[in-house]
Structure 1
């Protein structure tokens, strides 16, 4: 008996709780409805004035410096390193000898190729003399000429290998890493020898958004600043603008930067690209949220102050400037656009302004 009474009380309490929750939800919905529709069927909206402002296109973007030229120098000949003429940190110029490989075997190959070539020349001369007297055929003479040509090519290749025994720098730069020691054996398959970095010119890589990239072009001169050298200004020039946005919808930009005479800037440092543009003429701007759906729709609702209704207006949008959009046609300064609540509006819908 007691158990039945307790069960009945629990059921009554649960039903009472459910009723209380439903009542609270109803009050909240009524409050929302009252906020959205104030007055007799008017839709609550927020508005903004259409203003003419000076468009400021200037902006800055941060990035990091990378070398314009960076080379991992590999061996082209097999042999044992006999001498190293540079150390890490040394500045080198193009064509400078960095190290030498023992050329004994290479020199022997060159001498053999030289002897073969000279012998082929003599054979060709004999065949030419015999051909003139009818002693050999044209085919035999052609074969002698071909043998001479092949011997000459082998000699040139061996001379090139002998020249490459002196490992020379292909660029101007600084020896950033040295991977070999005297006595080490390098292979013709490409043993890593040196890492050479040229920092006389650097590249600053930055990202810009769609509205910013529209005002940039290859060759534009850009002011570059570095937090490490705050009193110095460096000159830059845009050398690359990505044709496609990356995953964050930004466009990678590369700026070639002239280092100073001391080569103070180093690869890996952070830099700031300062993009300055000529002063723009004032233009009509509205909040980006004014558009129905998205900016590409080219439609906004304008407040008709006389009838307190929303009027759908076709406009032509220009540049997107942060939270504002430039209007090329369709709006006049002093008009009022609706910035929220458009989802509930149609042309001629009564509205009330939420302060």
Structure 2
């Protein structure tokens, strides 16, 4: 029984100590809070900005890499040994320019044989057609000789095409970016011969957010700059706007860029497209730094006399370091843009002049 009384007394004593400690902590916290308020009174330096509606251009820039508008890998259209190569990597070529020759000796012999056969069948066809008028041959014999002649013509034209293919011609204007063959090498139809890149015109591919892409149209002109020639402004024209965006709600946009003589851009270089957007109606904008804990908090401090008052607002779109305010502020009010970390609602403040 004595132990029960002892343990009961200890329990009551422990509970009393805990309750006292909690009360002491609460009082200490209240004292600290009051001390912070009093210590901040008239001493918290802040920077401020007047709230006003202002015209705001929604122009923006997007970055990407330049790519050639036209490029292709030329594949051999006939088989044979390369007898001549007229271009090197870096050579400029024009459409129709002969860049290589393939041995056509055997093909030339075949072409001559096909021509002899075709000429003979043409004579036979004319003879049969004349004989048919006098009843010397049947209509079927005339039809058969006509079919044979037409087949001979087809064989001759195909052989002529193979002869022409031995003179390899550039299909587009551009630069030989890579050469995969050498003189004397044996080609098979379909083998790679050259990569040709046309850099007289380039395209710049960028990603545009959904809020801006709705204002763009194909054909619109765009100012384009490049890091390698920052003093030059190139002219671009929008040629493609994706119908579907990616998972981040950005839409691929391509524009064709005309190169400038003397300061030509190359495929793979880094560039920026500067989109000029229509002027929007005046909107209320405040700095991002005015928000406590970030824009998503939707809370700012408003200057009321010499005190800071916490205000709930509704933020809209973000434009760089400026945030649109849809509700919660009025023109003429003053928001605190720096020093909020030391503020509590109702704290006294001293407005500082920003350093120049």
Q: Same fold (TM over 0.5)?
A: yes
- Alignment match, 2:145: 144
Residue by residue, what CA displacement relative to the aligned partner does 1:213-256 show, whole Å, maximum 9, x if unpaired? 01110011111111111111111110000000023321001110
Q: Pairwise mapping of residues 85-164 of structure 1 onto structure 2 (< 5 A)?
A: 85-164=86-165
Partner SS for 2:232: strand
2:203 corresponds to 1:203: yes
What is the CA distance between 1:51 and its match in structure 2?
Answer: 6.6
| TM-score calculated relative to the size of structure 2 | 0.68
For 1:305-320, list aligned pairs within 5 A: 320=317
Unaligned runs of 5+ in 1: 1-11, 32-48, 288-318, 337-352
Say if 1:207 and 1:97 are closer, same or farther in 2 by CA, change over 3 A.
same
Q: 1:334 to 1:263 in 2, by over 3 A?
A: closer
Q: Deviation digits for residues 4-51 of structure 1, max 9, x if unmatched? A: xxxxxxxx9xxx9xx99xx9xxx9xxx9xxxxxxxxxxxxxxxxx997
Q: 8 Å contact 1:204–1:271 — kept in the other structure?
A: yes
Deviates more, 1:139-148 or 1:275-284: 275-284
| 133-142 or 113-122, which deviates more | 133-142
Aligned-pair distance for 1:269? Answer: 0.4
How many correspondences in the alignment? Answer: 279
Distance 2:191 2:58 in 1: 51
3-state SS of paired residue (1:80): strand
* Structure 2 residues not aligned, in runs of 5+: 1-10, 31-49, 288-315, 334-344, 348-356
* CA apart distance, 1:53: 3.7
Q: Which residue of 2 aligns with 1:72?
A: 73
Higher mean C-alpha displacement, 126-135 vs 217-226: 126-135
Residue 244 of structure 2: aligned partner: 244
Instruction: Give how far 1:79 is off.
Output: 0.3
Q: Report if aligned partners of 2:283, 2:324 keep a CA contact under 8 Å in 1.
A: no
Contact between 1:286 and 1:326, CA under 8 Å: does it hold in 2?
A: yes
What is the aligned partner in structure 2 of residue 282 from structure 1? 282
Secondary structure at 2:136 match in 1: coil
Q: TM-score, normalised by structure 1?
A: 0.68
Q: Equivalent residue for 2:60?
A: 59
Q: What's the CA shift for 1:69? A: 0.8
Give RMSD over aligned pairs. 4.0
Rg larger for: 2
The CA distance in 2 between the partners of 1:139 and 1:324, in whole Å, is: 89
Alpha-carbon offset, residue 320 of structure 1: 5.0
